[in-house]
Amino acid sequence: MLYQLYEAQRALMAPFSEFASASAKLYNHPLSPFTHTPIAQRLSAGLGLMHRLAKDYEKPQFDIRSVEVNGVEVAVQEQVPITKPFCRLLRFKRFTDNAAALDVMKTQPTVLVVAPLSGHHSTLLRDTVKALLQDHKVLITDWTDARTVPVDAGPFHLNDYVAYVQEFIRYLGPEVNVISVCQPTVPVLAAVSLMATHGEATPRTLTMMGGPIDARKSPTAVNNLAMNKSYSWFENNVIYRVPANFPGAGRAVYPGFMQHSGFVAMNPDRHLNSHYDYFQDLIRGDDDSAEAHRQFYDEYNAVLDMPAEYYLETIRTVFQDFALVNGTWDVDGTIVAPQDITTSAFLTVEGELDDISGAGQTRAAHDLCTGVPANRQFHYDAVGAGHYGIFSGRRWREMVYPEVKAFIARFNQPENKRDLPALAAKRAPRQAVAVAQARSASASSVKPGAKVRAQANAKPKVSVGGKRVARKA
């Protein structure tokens, strides 16, 4: 019923929003006589703010038309090589007739960016993609708003998310480099772990940024909510059916408008001040600052519905059972075993001021991937960066991206030229035994916070503030 009430309210506010927008233009258009009245600027600013507070925000576009490669401006076109019911694989194809730039692009690494399915659209990573396109071939997971997916397309579970990621990796081949941002760090690590367990080739590199690999470490307000409320509470309080005016009518979802309310409630003062600053910018005629505000909130306020089964399973698996770190996550009959990954290099990135994924949550991956040699494991702390700062904005471009770029460039070659099918055949018996042992082990046999000895003795290089230093055990 709440979803239907929200839609009714949205329909009622739509005419008011359009009226406010038209009235704002009436008081600031140079040809309008009302523009020259004493309080015209304030009236226009107030009406403009009302319009933005009342309007409906649709999914934004990536709108990346060109990028500079090797000092040459090249065209960018979006292509969709794979379409699934709940996701499409989006490729940013670059074109140029400059022979030198073309030769450079052909040899650049392939990167798969796995965007979060946690409220916002994948366009939230626009800045991430734009930076990567300078030096990489880039694809991204573009998740579909669940309210637009008909019920007859079936449900979407957390295991389906893992299967989607595996399909995309197999399509791109073992030379792909995978970057997961926030929520997908867990299912991406699971997908690659399962591929390793089954003897498949794994990506050249894994970069995990600001994700809840082990949500028990430095829990944030987001973690506390997920951990302190029962599974049935979420099931009864945040799951609703899509109204009849959408293609996905009748589908059980966690609505986007409820997620947006939660985002705003985390920092209400910050958002209130931001809107007030926008009002002041309009009065002063500071068009650049006002446009920056619009661009940010056009993205921030555009949210999608998540499939209920996927959302509830994520709550239970990641934030309540801690199944990945406890070694109890069973995906279609196979235990997720990150220690089976042996050839992929991996980098974890955390923001010093991250209030969504706390300090140490992403870095916990190092304690799980004990099969990866210490000299292929790295961690980077982005000083002064919040959650969004590690993948968007100045700190991403100036601090984090250079580290990610250097890491991918260094390990964008096979570990060696051994025959992968032969390796799979050799590994299969050992993996079968490992999986059988993992299934019989109790979740209580893994102590929270325990560190594997091999990892504890390792001294991989760590990037801190742009400098590489040896991390002490």
Domain residue ranges of the chain, discontinuous segments joined by +? 2-56+256-304, 66-231+307-467
Note every long-range contact of 314-319, with CB atoms under 8 Å and residues 24 or more positions apart, other chains counting.
314/158, 314/183, 314/186, 315/226, 315/231, 315/234, 316/231, 317/158, 317/186, 318/186, 318/212, 318/215, 318/226, 319/212, 319/215, 319/223, 319/226, 319/227
What CA–CA distances, in Å, run from 183 to 39, 174, 211? 47, 23, 5
Flag whether pLDDT at 262 surpasses 80. no
Highest average pLDDT, of 210-214, 354-358, 422-426, comes from 210-214
Q: Residue 415's pLDDT is what?
A: 63
Per-residue pLDDT tens for 33-80?
888 888 888 999 999 999 888 888 889 999 999 999 999 999 999 999
Flag whether pLDDT at 461 surpasses 80. no
The answer to whether the Cα torsion of 215, 219, 221, 227 is positive or negative is positive
If one compares 452 and 107, the residue with the highest pLDDT of the two is 107
Helix (H) or strand (E) holding 209: strand 205-209
* Lowest-pLDDT range of 258-262, 361-365, 426-430: 426-430
What CA–CA distances, in Å, run from 205 to 65, 67, 112, 190, 201? 28, 24, 10, 15, 12
Q: Residue 126's pLDDT is what?
A: 95
Beta-strand (E) ranges in 293-352?
A: 306-307, 330-331, 334-335, 345-351
Flag whether pLDDT at 431 surpasses 50. no
Q: Residue 2's pLDDT is what?
A: 86
* Lowest-pLDDT range of 28-42, 139-153, 322-336, 427-441: 427-441
Highest average pLDDT, of 258-262, 286-290, 404-408, comes from 404-408
> Of 300, 111, 114, nearest to 209 (Cα)?
114
CATH number at 66-231+307-467? 3.40.50.1820
pTM score: 0.82
Per-residue pLDDT tens for 361-384?
999 999 999 999 999 999 999 999
Single-letter amino acid code for the residue at 189: L
For all residues of the chain together, what is the average pLDDT?
86
* Lowest-pLDDT range of 16-20, 328-332, 429-433: 429-433
Q: What value does the mean pLDDT take over residues 227-251? A: 93
If one compares 400 and 56, the residue with the highest pLDDT of the two is 400
Query: pLDDT confidence of 13, banded at 50, 70, 90?
Result: confident
Query: pLDDT confidence of 335, banded at 50, 70, 90?
Result: very high
pLDDT > 70 in the chain, percent: 88
Question: Token pair for residue 395?
Answer: 């700190």
Per-residue pLDDT tens for 151-198?
999 999 999 999 999 999 999 999 999 999 999 999 999 999 999 999
> Of 115, 102, 41, 110, nearest to 74 (Cα)?
102
* Lowest-pLDDT range of 13-27, 49-63, 419-433: 419-433
